[in-house]
Amino acid sequence: MGKNLVLGIESSCDETAVAVVENGQKVLASEVASQMDLHSRYGGVVPEVASRVHLESLPLLLQEVLAQSQTHYDDLTGIAVTSAPGLIGALLVGLSTAKGLAFRLHLPLATVHHIEAHLYAAQLDAAPVEFPALGLAVSGGHTELYHMEDWGRYRLLASTRDDAAGEAFDKVAKLMGLGYPGGPMIEKLAKACPDSGDHFPFSKMKDKSLDFSFSGLKTAVMLEVKRNPPKGEQDLQRLAAKFQNTVREEITSRVHAFLVGLKPKSLVAGGGVACNQDLRDALRKEAESFGAVLRVPPPKYCSDNAAMVAGLGAYQLAQGRKAALSATAHPQASFY
């Protein structure tokens, strides 16, 4: 098999990313320009600001990634870009850039779903995922479980009815006075209480569904902070551990239930919250107890990146799934 070099672009939210991936799996170069410091002053992402920064960052990232991968535009065999879901202005910046490159270079274009790409990241610089698999997408905007028969063949099993897990981390961090983004700060505090079994009440659906819900957990933390305001570092550590324990159990209890029923060969996890080591350890135990293999990317490929976009785009192009240059962005599209 010859070299299949796909350039990927990711701009769905507040990270501008470009990557070059060989044959859908080997990452030759991957760079991310973070806007975290810029948006932290506002306590969250400002869409208009994010779009302007994407526009400024992409030309420089393209030059840097091509140089790192020792690749020229003429070496590329395809262009891949995130087209859904995300902030509409941010998506359009990346999509317009990708379409311009595809048109100028006479290359096929692949439009990629951001959450599907997070799952595909499990096989970047790694062996192919064995199917069937149970897929867990856990990020700032999504908390979902899928039955995966293969790439592109999914059945939704459970999703969040309100806040996603990553969103809950950010909102709770704000309630605790920790700032944005909340996930890394809460995880750091919780590490001081590794054996804490304390947790908030778990969510229960009236219809007995296994869907997720984190809005009640956010409210429980808010009431706890009002009743017993943290007086120092130790109080914050205990509160962070109590919250993180609850999120972990909410996720793993549902994973356990579907592992029982589906008995998959692999448990695939992706998304920013999959960076959380406590969650990764718990998912590994669950997978091993059912004879499944946990497939979760290293943290650099869990958070938003373009390598996952290029990898999935290469797979789509190999399957003959080419997007038209008239393709547009879909801010709320699902992929199942």
Confidence of residue 43 (pLDDT cuts 50, 70, 90): low
333 lies in some domain: no
Whether residue 150 sits in one domain with residue 115: no
Distance CA 297, CA 20 (A): 17
- Strand residue runs (E) in 102-252: 109-113, 133-138, 143-150, 153-159
Instruction: Give the separation between CA 239 and CA 228, rounded to whole angstroms.
Output: 10
- Asked if 17 and 143 sit in the same domain, the reply is no
In 3D, which of 99, 107, 19 has the Cα closest to residue 65? 19
Mean pLDDT of 7-21: 95
Half-sphere exposure of 104 (CA within 13 A, CB side): 9
pLDDT at 42 over 90: no
Tell me, yes or no, whether 281 and 140 share the same domain: yes
Per-residue CA distances from 311 to 136, 261, 292 (Å): 18, 30, 24
Q: Do 97 and 136 fall into the same domain?
A: no
Q: For 82-88, what is the mean pLDDT?
A: 95
Q: What is the C-alpha separation between 98 and 75, in angstroms, rounded?
A: 16
CA atoms within 13 A of residue 65's CA, in its CB half-sphere: 30
Q: Which residues share a beta bridge with 84?
A: 113
In a domain, 336, yes or no: no
Tokens of 161: 């009815």
Is residue 330 one of the residues assigned to a domain?
A: no
Task: Flag whether pLDDT at 39 surpasses 60.
Answer: no
% residues pLDDT > 70 (the chain): 96
Kindly report the average pLDDT of the chain as a whole number. 94
Confidence at 180, pLDDT banded by 50, 70, 90: confident
pLDDT, position 333: 77
The answer to whether residue 184 is domain-embedded is yes
With cut-offs at 50, 70 and 90, classify the pLDDT of residue 278: very high
37 and 110 part of one domain: yes
Q: How far apart are CA 82 and CA 16, in angstroms?
A: 11
How much is the average pLDDT of 195-206? 91
The verdict on residue 224 lying in a domain is yes
Same domain, 159 and 284: yes
Within this chain, do residues 136 and 18 fall inside the same structural domain, yes or no? no
Which tokens go with 264?
Answer: 């998959």
Q: Are residues 221 and 81 in the same domain?
A: no
Nearest CA among 152, 126, 125, 122 for reference residue 137: 122
Could you identify the residue written with the tokens 């905007």? Answer: 141
Domain check: are 182 and 287 in the same one?
yes
Q: What is the pLDDT of residue 165?
A: 96
Judge whether residue 36 has pLDDT over 80: no
**184 and 111 fall within a common domain:** no
Band (pLDDT 50/70/90 cuts) for residue 84 is very high
User: Which pLDDT score is estimated for 195?
Assistant: 83
Residue of 264, 272, 270 whose CA lies nearest to 288:
264
Residue 335 within a domain: no
Condensed to tens digits (0 to 9), the pLDDT of residues 209-257 reads 999 999 999 999 999 999 999 999 999 999 999 999 999 999 999 999 9
- Confidence category of residue 106, pLDDT binned at 50, 70, 90: very high
Residue 332: inside a domain, yes or no? no
Contact 239, 206 (CB under 8 A): no
Q: pLDDT tens digit string along 113-123?
A: 999 999 999 99
pLDDT of residue 40: 64
Q: What is the pLDDT of residue 14?
A: 86
CATH of the domain at 12: 3.30.420.40
Cα of first residue to Cα of last residue in the chain, in angstroms, is 30
| Ordered DSSP codes for 238-251 | HHHHHHHHHHHHHH
Q: Is 28 helix (H, G, I), strand (E, B) or coil?
A: strand
| Structural domain contains residue 242 | yes
| Residue 16 bridge partners (DSSP) | 33
Reported confidence tier of residue 127, pLDDT bands at 50, 70, 90: very high
Domain that holds residue 268: 131-296
> Tell me, what's the pLDDT at 336?
67
State mean pLDDT over 195-213: 92
139 and 166 part of one domain: yes
Q: Are residues 233 and 276 in the same domain?
A: yes
Lowest-confidence region among 69-73, 125-129, 138-142, 301-305? 138-142
Please count the structural domains in the chain: 2
